[in-house]
Amino acid sequence: MVGDNEVRWCNQTLIYFSGCDYFRLSRHPAVTSMAKATLQKTGLNVAASRLTTGNRKLYAELEKELAAFFRAETAVIVPNGYLAPLVAAQAIAGEFTHALVDDLSHSALVDAIRMLD
């Protein structure tokens, strides 16, 4: 039997490090419980992104918690995964002279690197 974070390929069981839920946290009881509690407290806003509908207290609270968790001065959340490398590239611009990527790199990484030129 294949576990929640495993796949079968060529008669082998492999750990699954692909997709958006490779740690399978989306079904973890602590995560789903917290998500339910947060929905009860804050409701569900699917109208648009932070940029178009404005800031919410929840965003600032999350950024503060993330900064504390990572022992960072500050943190910022972005509306989607594609933007994360772009934001990170801007934050570290000028600190590196080379970036190595291959043909399997996500297009967001390639685009972020191109922006540094």
**Ramachandran angles phi, psi of 15, nearest 5°:** -75, 135
> Helix, strand, or coil here: 106?
coil
Please give the structure tokens belonging to residue 11: 């008669």
Q: Is the confidence at residue 104, as pLDDT, over 80?
A: yes
Token pair 């409701």 in the structure block, residue? 43
Q: Which residue has the higher pLDDT, 90 or 20?
A: 90
Cβ partners under 8 Å of residue 73, min gap 6: 67
Q: At how many degrees (to 10) do helices 83-92 and 107-115 cross?
A: 30
Cβ partners under 8 Å of residue 106, min gap 6: 85
pLDDT tens for 76-103 read: 988 888 999 999 888 888 888 888 888 8
**Ramachandran angles phi, psi of 64, nearest 5°:** -65, -45
